[in-house]
Amino acid sequence: MKFLKIYILGFLVCTSQLLSAQIEFKTDVSKNKLGVNQRFKVQFSVNKQGADNFAAPSFNNFTIVGGPSSSVNQSWINGKASYSQSYIYILEPKKEGEFTIAPASIEYDGEIIKSNPVKITVVKAVDIPKDPNNPEYIAQQNIHLVAEVSNLKPYVGEGIYVVYKLYVSENISVNDWRVSESPQYNGFWNQDIEVKEISVKKGEYNGEDYRYIILKRAVLIPQREGNLKIEPMKMSFSVGVPTGRGDFFGNMITKNINYSASSAIKTVNVKALPLAGKPIDFNGAVGEFDFKVAANKNVLKANDAAQIKVEVSGKGNLKLFEIPKITTPSELEVYTPEHKENVATALTGLRGSVADTYTVVPQYKGKYKIPEVSFTYFNPKEEKYNTIKAPAIFVNVTEGKELPSSNNNVAVSPKQRVVGTDNNFRFIALDSELEANVKSQFLDSDLFYLLLFLPFLAIPIGVLIGKKRAERARDVFGNKIRKADRLAKKYLSQAKKELGNQEAFYIALERALHNFLKAKLLVETSDISSERIAEILTEKGVDSETIKQFMNVLNSCNFARYTPTTNVMMEQELEKAKEVITNIDKQL
C-alpha cells in the first residue's frame, strides 16, 4: 500500500513537469468582427524561450499597415517563472466577407510548431467615433488623396484626363509615402503623362488652405459606352501627428503613425456616338481634325516616282482610327504606304498628325486621275459628324511608252492593184537540184544522252535534299527559334525603318509590341493596363523574368519619346524587343 502511494505521487510529479514543459504557440486578434474601414491587431505568442525562425502567414485579403513588431515578457511571481514572446501586426481588410488568418509557424527543438487559425468577419464600413485626440482621426482629417477627372460624361472616343493630387494640411507632416496600389482604367485607352518633378504647391480643399502635390496624370479615351469606373489609387504614409503636449522648450511633440488613404472611385458615364446622320465611311475618329491629300509633283516621266501624302492632323483620338486610303488607276504602280505619327500627349489630349505616304510610279505616257478622298469624324463639342473631301489629283506623264491598245495588234496594209505584163511567165525551170538543209541531228547527240541520263542523276540529289529536310523538320527547337525570329522581324519591321527618328521609332516599337500581344493573346492590349498585361502573360505560362523584360521595353517606349536618346540606344531597344518577342513566342 505504501509502495502504491509512492508510485502515484511520482506519477503526478512527472506529469506536472511534462505539462509545464509543453510549448504553446497561439494566435490572438483584437477583434473578430469589424468594418471594412477599421483596423485590428494580430498577435502570435510563444511561451518558451529558444523558439526561433518565426514565419508569418500570407495575409491575403488584408493590408499590413503596421508591423511586424516583437515584444518579450518575462516574470517571476511566487517562485514561478513565466515567459512570452510576441510578434504583432496591424491589419486592414481590403473588402467585405469572411476570411481566415492562416497559422503562423515557429521552430522549437528541431520541430515546426504551428499556431491556431482565426476567422475574421468583415462587414460594411462603420461610423468611427470622432475622437479629436485619436491620431488616426487627426490623420484622416488632414490628409486627402483626390482624383480629379476633366469630364464625367464624354462620348466614346472623346479624350479626358485624370489628375491625382495629395492634399496635406499645415497641422501634420508626412515623413514617407508610397503607392500601394495603382489605379485601373478598365474600358479606357490610357497613357500616363510623366510627372517630371514633385513640387509642393498651395491650394484649397473644402474651403481650407492646404499644401498639395501632383502624383500622377493620365489621358483616358473611353472605348465603349456605359458606366466605366476609374478604380482608386491607394497609398501608405508615415505621418507625424501632434500629441497636444509640448517639450521643455515649448515645442509641440509629435507621434509617428502608419496611415493609409485611397482616392474615391470615379464613375464616368460614357455616351454612345449618335446614330442620326452617321456617315457610312465613319471609322471612329473623334475630335477636331483637318484632312488633306497632296502630291509632291504632278508632272513626271514614265518610271519616275511621285509621293502622295494622306494626312490627318488636329486634336483627338489620333492613334485609334485608320486613315482613308487612296484609289489609283491600274496603270500606276503603287507601293505599300509609309505610316508616320507625330503625336504629343498632354492633359488636353492627343495632338499632332498621322499620315500615310504612297510612292507612285507610272508606266506609260498619259494623264491619270486619282479620285477624291473623304474623311469623316465626330466633333464632340459640336455634337455632329463632319466630312472633309480632298479634291482629285491629276498626274501628267509627259514622256514614256504609249499606252498599249487592243485595236492595233494586227497591221492592215492597203490593197494594191495587180498589173499583168508579158514577162510574167517567161521562164519555168524543169529540172531541180535540191539538197537537204539539216544543221544538226538530235538523235545520238550530246544533248540527247544528257537528257537521257538526267533523271538518274536527279534521284541521289532528291534523296540528299529529302534527308536535309527531314533533319530540319526534326530540329523542333531550331525551327521554333527560326519561326520566332521571323515573327519578331515581321512585327518590328516598321520600327527598324524609323531608326534615327526618336519619337516615330518608339511609337512604332510600342505599336509592334501591342500588335504582337493582340495576335498571340487575342485581346486588345492597348486598352488595358500594364499590370493586367503582366497578369495575362503569367496566366499563359510566361516566366516572370521574360514578363519583366517585356514590361521594361514597353515602359521605355513611353518615357524615351520625351528624353534625349541616341541611335545606339534605339538599336539596343530594338534588339531587346526582338529578343523578348522571340522568348514569349517560344513559351506560348
H-type alpha helices, 418-566: 446-474, 476-497, 502-521, 530-539, 544-560
Q: How high is the pLDDT of residue 9?
A: 52
φ/ψ (deg, to 5) at 546: -65, -40
The CA distances from residue 316 to 190, 356, 379, in Å, are 13, 18, 9
Q: Cβ distance 225 to 156 under 8 Å?
A: yes
Mean pLDDT of 44-48: 86
Distance, CA of 160 to chain centre: 19
The yes-or-no verdict on residue 455 having pLDDT over 80 is no
CA distances to 56, 284, 285, 374 from 278, rounded to whole Å, are 61, 11, 12, 14
Q: 287-397 and 476-587 share one CATH topology?
A: no
Q: How many residues are recorded in the chain?
A: 588
**pLDDT given at position 413:** 41
Mean pLDDT of 2-8: 52
Q: How confident is the model at residue 148 (pLDDT cuts 50, 70, 90)?
A: very high
Around 441, how many Cα atoms within 13 Å sit in the side-chain half-sphere?
3
Q: Which fold has domain 135-270?
A: Immunoglobulin-like (2.60.40)
Lowest mean pLDDT among 147-156, 311-320, 367-376, 541-550: 541-550
What is the amino acid identity at position 500? G
Q: What is the rounded distance in angstroms from the CA atom of residue 543 to the CA atom of residue 537?
A: 8
Q: How large is the average pLDDT for residues 127-153?
A: 81
Contact between residue 335 and residue 343 where contact means Cβ atoms under 8 Å apart: no
- Cα separation, 42 vs 10, whole angstroms: 41
**Model confidence pLDDT, tens digit, residues 396-442:** 888 777 766 544 443 344 444 544 545 544 445 555 555 555 555 66
pLDDT band at 291, cuts 50/70/90? very high
- Stated as kind and residue range, the H or E segment containing 394 is strand 393-397
Residue 19 pLDDT class (50, 70, 90 cuts): very low
> Which amino acid belongs to residue 250?
G
| Residue 583 near residue 547 (C-beta atoms within 8 A) | no
For residue 313, what pLDDT band results from cuts at 50, 70 and 90? very high
pLDDT of residue 13 exceeding 50: no
pLDDT-derived band at 230, boundaries 50, 70, 90: very high
DSSP 285-305: -BEEEEEEEEES-SEE-TT--
Q: Which amino acid is at 553?
A: V
Task: Give 346 or 408, the one with higher predicted confidence.
Answer: 346
Residue 40: per-residue pLDDT = 86
Domain 23-123: give its CATH architecture: Sandwich (2.60)
CB neighbours of residue 149 within 10 Å: 15
* CB contact at 8 A, 315 and 279: no
Please tell me the least confidently modeled range out of 2-11, 149-158, 220-229, 441-450: 2-11
* Domain locations along the chain: 23-123, 135-270, 287-397, 476-587
Give 299's pLDDT tier (boundaries 50, 70, 90).
confident
Q: What is the pLDDT of residue 346?
A: 81
Place of cell 484632312: 291
Given this model, what pLDDT does residue 429 score? 53
Q: How far apart are CA 585 and CA 492, in angstroms?
A: 14
Task: For residues 170 and 538, give the distance between their C-alpha atoms in angstroms, rounded to a whole number.
Answer: 45
Contact between 375 and 388 (Cβ < 8 Å)? yes
| Sign of the dihedral defined by the CA atoms of residues 561, 566, 569, 570, in that order | positive
Please enumerate in sequence order all residues whose Cβ is within 8 A of that of 577, keeping only pairs 6 or more positions apart, or say none: 488, 492, 495, 509, 512, 513, 553
Q: What is the pLDDT of residue 560?
A: 65
The predicted pLDDT at position 121 comes to 92
CATH 1.10.760.10 fits 287-397, yes or no: no
Give 476-587's CATH code, choosing from 1.20.120, 3.30.200, 1.10.3470, 3.20.20: 1.20.120
Model pLDDT for residues 525-552, shown as the tens digit of each residue: 666 677 778 888 888 888 888 888 888 8
Reported as a single tens digit per residue, the pLDDT across 201-212 is 888 888 788 889
Q: Is the dihedral of CA 375, 376, 380, 382 positive or negative?
A: positive
pLDDT at 405: 59
Flag whether pLDDT at 480 surpasses 70. Answer: no
- 399: number of Cβ within 10 Å: 10
Q: Among 148-162, 348-362, 389-403, 554-568, which stretch is predicted with the lowest mean pLDDT?
A: 554-568
3-state secondary structure of 424: coil
Of 127-131, 544-548, 572-576, which range is least confident?
127-131
Residue 470's pLDDT is what?
66
The pLDDT value recorded for residue 418 is 47
Q: How far is CA 190 from the centre of its chain?
A: 10
Instruction: Tell me the pLDDT band of 580, cut-offs 50, 70 and 90.
Output: confident
∠ CA 304-308-312, nearest 5°, is 165
Radius of gyration of the chain (CA): 41
DSSP codes of every residue in 106-162:
EEETTEEEE---EEEEEES--PPP--TT-HHHHHHHHEEEEEEES-SSPBTT--EEE
Phi, psi values for residue 79, rounded to 5°: 80, 5
What Cα–Cα distance (Å) separates residue 63 from each residue in 180, 189, 531?
A: 9, 29, 19
pLDDT (average), residues 306-324: 91
Residue burial 105-118, b: 16+ Cβ < 10 Å; e: rest: bbebeeeebebeeb
